[in-house]
Amino acid sequence: MFLFSTHDAEELLLPSAAEPAIMEAAEDPKGTIRTDSVLIADDDPISRSIVESHFRKWGLNITSVSDGLSAWNELQKPDAPSLIVLDWMMPGFTGIDLCRKIRARRTKRYPYILLLTSRDAKQDLVQALDAGADDYLTKPFHASELQSRLKVGSRILQLQNDLLKKEGQLRHEAMHDRLTGLWNRGAILDFMNREIMRAARTRNSMGLLLLDIDHFKSINDTYGHQAGDEALQQVAERLAKTVRNYDWVGRYGGEEFVVVLCNSNADVVANCAERLRESIALAPLRVCGMDLPVTVSVGASISTSTDNLLQTADAALYRAKALGRNRVEIGW
């Protein structure tokens, strides 16, 4: 805690030349760190009020508490600020305690911590940085210096946002088919193996569907590859809309698709397979400005173990094509 004299308060309130908004609010899609929100923890009401006043002028969204325990509770919330300004001496937890506890969590979101305190000895600075503080500013301070240091924290948090966004994009690209947006071959087979193990463990059955667009080569040969790509995209969209929300659908390769049906007996598998076939056959696709009738053949298999599930579905698909296409065959 730090008690201000009148002179100290005046010094603290010295404004920068033009106090503009300190930062713009970052885009806030799910999982993005807000760079315009700040947590203030200070048990001195005068100090806290002065800091809050500056933050409001700079366009920050403020969460303000008067002790370390309240600050720690605020930081447990999913929407907790990632820009944190802490006093050193507080009841509950000190600023140093909070630094250590925050860093011990090792969460994916890295919070930026500024320790704002009257302690100005060199060993205090070293102790604070060793505990996990990113920056250290002594009271009384000049408003422009506090603003500049917050801008540094905001830039670091925005860089983190950019890295997290890029990481998410790379993860999505690694698991999704670029043309259709469905799960790619590697991802859908991983889901299949996971469900097979789950079915074996719980002694429930699960199903696998292997679908192939009938006469797809003739679409490419007759109308061109752009038409073929559009046909693949629209078939994928219909399949994704037709499966149950807890099933998995992916592109197996070329014009083939895989659907993993969780916790499904033979009747459920047969009904799902027929529903997916009908979702393609009942209405033509709108491809390159023309209506194009398209059908799929479906091979289905049901299993409670790892034995030849994919091979069984593949054999059933081959049989469906041999028997005239646009039909469902179930392998056992």
At a CB cut-off of 8 Å and minimum separation 6, what does 123 contact? none
In our burial notation (b when 16+ CB lie closer than 10 A, e otherwise), range 198-232 reads: ebbeeeebbbbbbbbbbebeebeeebeeebbbbbb
d(CA 188, CA 191): 5
Whether 18 shows a pLDDT value over 70: the answer reads: no
Per-residue pLDDT band for 35 (boundaries 50, 70, 90) equals: low
The residue type found at 226 is: Q
Within a domain: residue 179?
no
> Do 81 and 33 have their domain in common?
yes
The one-letter code for the residue type at 20 is P
User: How open is the CA angle 86-88-91, to the nearest 5 degrees?
Assistant: 95
Q: Report residue 182's pLDDT band, with 50, 70 and 90 as the boundaries.
A: very high
Mean pLDDT of 296-303: 94
pLDDT at 140: 87
Taking only the tens place, the pLDDT of each residue in 192-242 is: 999 988 888 888 889 999 999 999 999 999 999 999 999 999 999 999 999
- pLDDT in the model for residue 305: 57
Pair 129, 91 in one domain: yes
Query: What is the per-residue pLDDT for 106?
Result: 78
Structural domain span for residue 216: 185-331
Residue 268 has pLDDT above 60, yes or no: yes
Residue 180 lies inside a defined structural domain of this protein: no
State whether 96 and 26 are in the same domain: yes
R_g (Cα) of the chain, nearest Å? 30
Q: Has residue 125 been placed in a domain?
A: yes
For the annotated catalytic residues, the residue numbers are 255
Preceding omega of 91 cis (within 30 degrees of 0): no
Residue 114: which of 81, 91, 159, 92 has the closest Cα?
Answer: 81
Q: What is the CATH number of the domain that holds 322?
A: 3.30.70.270
* pLDDT above 70 as % of the chain: 88
Q: Are 156 and 194 contained in the same domain? A: no
The model's pTM: 0.64
* Domain assignment of residue 116, yes or no: yes
Residue after which a domain boundary falls, among 170, 198, 229? 170
Tell me the pLDDT tens digit for each residue of 97-142. 999 999 998 787 889 999 998 888 999 999 999 999 999 999 888 9
Domain count of the chain? 2
Give the model's pLDDT for residue 212: 98
Residues 238 and 325 in one domain: yes
**Mean pLDDT score, 256-279:** 95
> Considering 170, 204, 234, which residue would you say is the last residue of a domain?
170
Q: Check residue 198 and give its pLDDT.
A: 87
Whether the Cβ atoms of residue 305 and residue 196 lie closer than 8 Å to each other: yes
Q: Which residue type occupies 143?
A: A
Q: Which has more confidence, 184 or 5?
A: 184
Cβ contact 231:213 at 8 Å: yes
Is the same domain home to 221 and 260? yes
- Bridge partners (DSSP) listed for residue 287: 290
Q: What is the pLDDT of residues 274-286, one digit of tens each?
A: 999 999 999 999 9
Evaluate whether residue 175 is within a structural domain: no
* Residues 155, 71 share a domain: yes
The answer to which of 57-66, 164-173, 282-291 has the lowest mean pLDDT is: 164-173
Is residue 151 located within the same domain as residue 191? no
* Position 215 in a domain: yes
d(CA 6, CA 17): 22
The domain that holds 110 is classified in CATH as: 3.40.50.2300
Both 249 and 287 in one domain: the answer is yes
Whether 1 maps to a domain, the answer reads no
Residue 11: pLDDT over 80? no
Q: Are residues 216 and 282 in the same domain?
A: yes
Mean pLDDT within 244-254? 94
Query: Does a structural domain hold residue 177?
Result: no
Same domain for 166 and 190? no
| Helices (runs of H) and strands (runs of E) counted in the chain | 11, 12
